[in-house]
Amino acid sequence: MKLSVRSQGPLSGTVRPPGDKSISHRAAILSAVAEGVSRIEGFLECDDCLSTAEALQDLGVNVEPIGVNTLEVRGAGFGAFREPKSTIDMGNSGTGMRLLMGLVAGIPMEVTFTGDESLSRRPMDRIAEPLEMMGASVEGRGERVTPPVTVSGGDLKGITYHPPMASAQVKSAVLLAGLSAEGETRVVEPAASRDHTERMLKAMGADIEVDDLEITLHPGSKLRAGSLGVPADISSGAFLLAAGLLVDDSEVFVREVLLNPTRTGFLEALEQMEAKLEVSARKEVSGEPVGTIRAVTSDLRAGEFGGELIPRMIDEIPLLAVLATQAEGTTLIRDAGELRVKETDRLRAMARLLSAMGADVTEHDDGLKITGPTKLRGAVVDAERDHRVAMSAVIAGFIATGETVIEGAECIDTSFPGFVQKLQELGAEHIKEEE
């Protein structure tokens, strides 16, 4: 599927992005471990999260949709899981695969996970290392343990693990394995990463302590089933906010969006760039802070972004690169080498995409240098099977001269089903889908 985009007139209105992708994965998985029936409202019905839900069904868990964006999970503890009859296909869901590897590592069975062409290139060695330290066996292709990957679970021992990078997926896989391990499981991070797993474990009754960058999970607690609400996804909402910031004479409100401090790095970067943002209607949903964000057209200033900020906005960096093309001065993004092992090499993909549209962009080993402002021009670009690259291209097309055609745009459904419709609700007229 292709998307054809032209420059837009003013955008205005209030929209709610779909449910948070990271929280949807975790809500389904932890509900499967809990004892009793859990109702998950606001569950993101995108390809990735549905792959996780289907994988849980393959593992013997009763998972049923009971309404729009609502999932019912009947958990019965680790004893209810069964060995799947065949390989579990995770599609493009790297998060789902990594978290489920941790989950099954403590169960005495053998599970093989596979995925699409993109996921089959993504390394799982960073998950395999701590799981094997705990006592599981993990086999994949090559030194980087790329899928298909087989986890042989069993009796695990709790460990203290110091991951080499700040990664919520690594941390969560270790904590999920720790739920069935003997003794304490401790993760000491080099920098803060998303803490949704810790928050949800605590809310469901786990004996877990968080002391700055050190998380300790004590054994023995059973997780409680219950009702879980999933806030709107800040990573999806970021694209709607960016449209409001870049398109002339626009005012966009994005409501009930997640404001977890481990996910607000993008908002902090925008503040540094002097973007006009306001947050209101703050409240809590299932232990997570949410609010409404207002974005109006802004004259942006360049900035330098790296260090501890990067893990807190890792998914928004492709979009930040688009915003940087319209900022006064030179923007430097560094310490973002993690982007080279996402759905595609996002640093290279964004450098190629923005260069094709006339931007002044230089690719570095761990980031990008972008000098602006530059008047972008329409181009035919390839999404490279990456949903965030595709959506970033759409926002760039909104401010480019001429037509921008994004090939392979069907990948957007991986994280943001209804993306085009949300933009149209805000008044975007010059965007259409083509076969």
Q: What is the pLDDT of residues 62-90, one digit of tens each?
A: 999 988 899 999 998 998 899 999 999 99
Task: Give per-residue pLDDT as tens, 237-272.
Answer: 999 999 999 999 999 999 999 999 999 999 999 999
Q: How far from 405 is each of 2, 86, 385, 395, CA to CA, in Å? A: 7, 39, 15, 12
Q: What pLDDT, on a 0 to 100 scale, did the predictor assign at position 68?
A: 87
Q: Please give the DSSP secondary-structure letter assigned to residue 79.
A: G
Six token digits for residue 349: 């993909």
Peptide bond into 373 cis (omega under 30): yes
Q: What pLDDT, on a 0 to 100 scale, did the predictor assign at position 435?
A: 76
What is the Cα–Cα distance from 424 to 315, expressed in whole angstroms?
23
Contact between 290 and 264 under an 8 Å Cβ cutoff? The reply is: no
Closest listed residue to residue 25, CA positions, set 91, 76, 77, 80:
91
Six token digits for residue 350: 């964004």
Contact between 153 and 107 under an 8 Å Cβ cutoff? The reply is: yes
Question: Is 116 known to be catalytic?
Answer: no
The superfamily in CATH containing domain 2-18+232-434 is Enolpyruvate transferase domain (3.65.10.10)
Q: Where in the chain is the domain with CATH 3.65.10.10?
A: 2-18+232-434, 21-229
Q: What pLDDT, on a 0 to 100 scale, did the predictor assign at position 79?
A: 87
Number of helices followed by number of strands (H, E) in the chain:
12, 26
Buried residues in 111-144 as b, exposed as e (16+ CB within 10 A):
bbbbbbebbebbbbebbbbbbeebbbebebeeee
pTM > 0.85: yes or no: yes
Mean pLDDT of 77-106: 96
Q: What pLDDT, on a 0 to 100 scale, did the predictor assign at position 307?
A: 94
Q: Which residues contact 315 (CB under 8 A, 6 or more apart)?
A: 235, 388
Residue type, 392: S
Q: What pLDDT, on a 0 to 100 scale, did the predictor assign at position 67?
A: 82
- Express as a percent the part of the chain with pLDDT over 70: 100
Which residue is catalytic, options 48, 58, 233, 315? 315
Q: Pick 66 or 39 by higher pLDDT.
A: 39
Q: Which residues contact 105 (CB under 8 A, 6 or more apart)?
A: 131, 134, 136, 138, 151, 153, 156, 173, 176, 177, 180
Q: Regarding beta strands 146-152 and 137-141, do their DSSP bridges make them parallel or antiparallel, or are they unpaired? A: antiparallel
Three-state SS at 266: helix
Residue 313 confidence (pLDDT) above 90: yes
Give 21-229's CATH code, choosing from 3.65.10.10, 3.40.50.620, 3.10.580.10, 3.40.630.30: 3.65.10.10
Mean pLDDT, the chain, rounded, equals 96
Mean pLDDT of 159-179: 96
Three-state SS at 351: helix
Task: Give per-residue pLDDT as tens, 365-404.
Answer: 999 999 999 999 999 999 999 999 999 999 999 999 999 9
Q: How far from 109 is each of 60, 104, 196, CA to CA, in Å? A: 13, 8, 27
Mean pLDDT of 414-419: 94
Three-state SS at 270: helix
Q: What pLDDT, on a 0 to 100 scale, did the predictor assign at position 66?
A: 87
